[in-house]
Amino acid sequence: MDLVLFGPPGAGKGTQAQRLVELLGVPQISTGDLMRAERKAGTELGKKFDEYMSKGQLVPDSLVIDLFADRLGKPDAAKGAIFDGFPRTQAQAQALDDLLARLGRSIHKVVVIDLAVEDILDRITGRRVDPATGQVYHVRYNPPPPGITVEQRKDDTEEVVRTRDQSYRRDTEPVLPYYETRGLVARVDGLGELDEITQRIREAIGA
Ligand code: AMP
């Protein structure tokens, strides 16, 4: 199954994607995670990504699409994947359709996790990540177990969150009608307990 998780940065796409991996038996493909890995490895590409990421701006389509296509071609994604944070522009949405079509596949559903910017700020400023595993936690809602060292993403500040939210509303939300006309969009409320939200997504995708 190929599933797109859509919604503003901080709505819980990454956390829910990690839960769906277990359930659906397909990998999560997060372009943000792929970029952070490049950045951490200190590659030239990683430095280029950082110029945009640290400001909360979108990385140019050509770079993102190449990175994504490479990941989609890996054997573990042969039966489907959960796309988290991709596509974010019309060009990326078109590229995703083309890449899947070449594999004889198509998008099953686009699940939009809806959340207001005030709720996002509350979540993002408390968000922590285990750098060893990529597991996402929250200081209050989903605290890391004792003994786990977590860190804060450097783009998880209020100023950067607001810029990322604006770029979502301006560049990414306008992609939705492209999917709506094909009847692919399901909206779920992103406010609530993690289990409740997972349940809402399961109902939306029929899993
Ligand atoms: P995320 O982890 O999905 O919140 O992404 C973190 C940052 O990586 C974004 O604010 C962008 O700078 C960049 N990024 C991730 N995915 C994309 C994408 N599909 N298109 C453009 N930029 C992206």
Size of the chain, expressed as the number of residues it contains? 207
Q: Decide: 64 in ligand 1 pocket, CB within 6 A.
A: yes
pLDDT given at position 123: 86
Rg (CA), the chain: 16
φ/ψ region of 52 (left if φ > 0, alpha if ψ in -120 to 50, else beta) reads alpha
- The structure tokens 């277990």 sit at 22
Residue in 150, 159, 106, 148 with CA at minimum distance from that of residue 126: 150
What is the pTM for the complete model shown? Answer: 0.90
pLDDT given at position 207: 84
Query: How many domains does the chain fold into?
Result: 1
d(C-alpha 58, C-alpha 190), whole Å: 23
CA of 60 to the centre of ligand 1 (A): 10
Reduced to 3 states (helix: H, G, I; strand: E, B; else coil), residue 150 is coil
Q: What share of the chain is helix, strand, coil (3-state, %, to 5)?
A: 50, 15, 35
Mutate which of 45, 50, 53, 124 for ligand 1 pocket (most atoms within 8 A of beta carbon): 53
What residues make up the domain containing 91?
2-205
> Mean pLDDT of successive 10-residue segments in the chain (207 residues)?
95 94 96 95 96 93 98 97 97 98 97 93 91 92 94 89 91 96 97 94 94
Antiparallel, parallel or unpaired: β 81-84 and 185-189: unpaired
Residue in 147, 145, 143 with CA at minimum distance from that of residue 194: 143
d(C-alpha 91, C-alpha 172), whole Å: 10
Atom of ligand 1 nearest to the CA of 57: 12
pLDDT given at position 141: 85
d(C-alpha 136, C-alpha 205), whole Å: 23
pLDDT given at position 170: 94
- The structure tokens 């809402």 sit at 200
Query: Measured in Å, how far apart are the chain's first and last C-alpha atoms?
Result: 10
- The structure tokens 């810029």 sit at 163
CATH code, domain with 67: 3.40.50.300
